[in-house]
Amino acid sequence: MQVVIVEQPGDVASFAASRISDVVARVAASGKRAVLGVATGSSPLGTYRALAELVSRGHLDTTGVSAFALDEYVGLDYAHPESYHSVVTRTVTEPLALDPRRVHVPDGLADDLPAACSRYEEQIRAAGGIDVQLLGIGANGHIGFNEPTSSLNSRTRLKTLAKRTRDDNARFFDSPDQVPIHCLTQGLATILDARQALLVAQGVGKAEAIAAAVEGPVSAMCPASVLQLHSHATVVVDEAAASRLRLRDYYSYVLTNLPSGDR
């Protein structure tokens, strides 16, 4: 796992956007179209803004690029501003000029939710798999909506949200009881299938979760720790989110001494 500690919270976004943009360009150069994995929450918003800027300046061509969201609430109308269908349209599809037909979000309104989850896995496979998966992290270490004790081998499925996650996400709703209790989420094994994983976090509120994810044991108690099993995972954090990491100096040393060709 590569750990990148940047000075300012805004640098997290520029690092992640440039990494994603490089992937899109590299995949395009090989004659294919990139498949992005996109996260909701506030952490990746700066990255989407930085990517939108690259698109509007003509530095990033998203023609043919497709995207898969990590998760969705169950039972929340797609038109609701906090459904992840709406959030992804507003923060990703439109600003990055993606073709809406190529942007996928799990179907939290399906009559048969398990079937919708299997279909989602199939759609990811049919698209050729995810080239780069952008991730935020919950204060309890969740990624997507894989709450603590989620199976490290899980696939897209129906889950119950932890109380802490509902409380954390209540700020987006008029009242806490409006936060849905159930969700569909890509599983941890689904996330591990992405060819590259890029986790972004800012602020001291994420420091403990980041330390557990990067330096703790691989454990279902901290679902993000599963990224330690990924062969190409990068964690990009500002100083505050890095503040509980024990090997901070080592991560900076490694970054300034990368083997040539490994940047």
Q: DSSP for 119-169, please give it.
A: HHHHHHHHTT--SEEEE---TTS-BTTB-TT--TT--SEEEEPPHHHHHHH
Helix residue ranges per DSSP H, 7-135? 9-29, 45-56, 84-88, 113-126
Asked about 147 being catalytic, the answer comes back as yes
Asked whether position 154 contacts ligand GLP by CB under 6 A, the answer is no
Q: Which of 85, 104, 142, 230 is catalytic?
A: 142
Residue closer to ligand GLP by CB (options 1, 27) is 1
What distance, in Å, lies between the first and last C-alpha atoms of the chain?
14
Asked whether position 1 contacts ligand GLP by CB under 6 A, the answer is no
Closest CB 3 distance from ligand GLP, rounded Å: 18
For ligand GLP, which residue of 62, 93, 156, 169 counts as binding (CB under 6 A)?
169
Q: Which of 121, 140, 168, 230 is catalytic?
A: 140
Asked whether position 71 contacts ligand GLP by CB under 6 A, the answer is yes
Q: What is the dihedral of CA 125, 132, 205, 81, to 10 degrees?
A: -60
Cα Dmax for the chain: 53
Measured CA distances, 162 to 129, 143, 146, 149, 159 (Å): 29, 12, 9, 11, 9
Rounded to an integer, what distance in angstroms lies between the CA atom of residue 259 and that of residue 263?
8
Asked whether position 47 contacts ligand GLP by CB under 6 A, the answer is no
Coil, strand or helix: which one is 221? coil
Binding to ligand GLP in span 15-44, by CB under 6 A:
39-43
Asked about 71 being catalytic, the answer comes back as yes
Q: Which of 107, 131, 147, 168 is catalytic?
A: 147
Residue closer to ligand GLP by CB (options 70, 92) is 70
Closest CB 60 distance from ligand GLP, rounded Å: 23
Closest CB 55 distance from ligand GLP, rounded Å: 22
228: phi then psi, degrees, rounded to nearest 5:
-65, -20
Binding to ligand GLP in span 117-146, by CB under 6 A:
136-138, 144-145
Asked about 82 being catalytic, the answer comes back as no
Closest CB 43 distance from ligand GLP, rounded Å: 3
Residue closer to ligand GLP by CB (options 33, 155) is 155
Instruction: List all residues 6 or more positions away from 77 whose beta carbon is below 8 Å from its beta carbon.
Output: 83, 109
Asked whether position 70 contacts ligand GLP by CB under 6 A, the answer is yes
Q: Which residues are catalytic?
A: 71, 140, 142, 147
Residues that bind ligand GLP (CB under 6 A): 39-43, 70-71, 136-138, 144-145, 165, 169
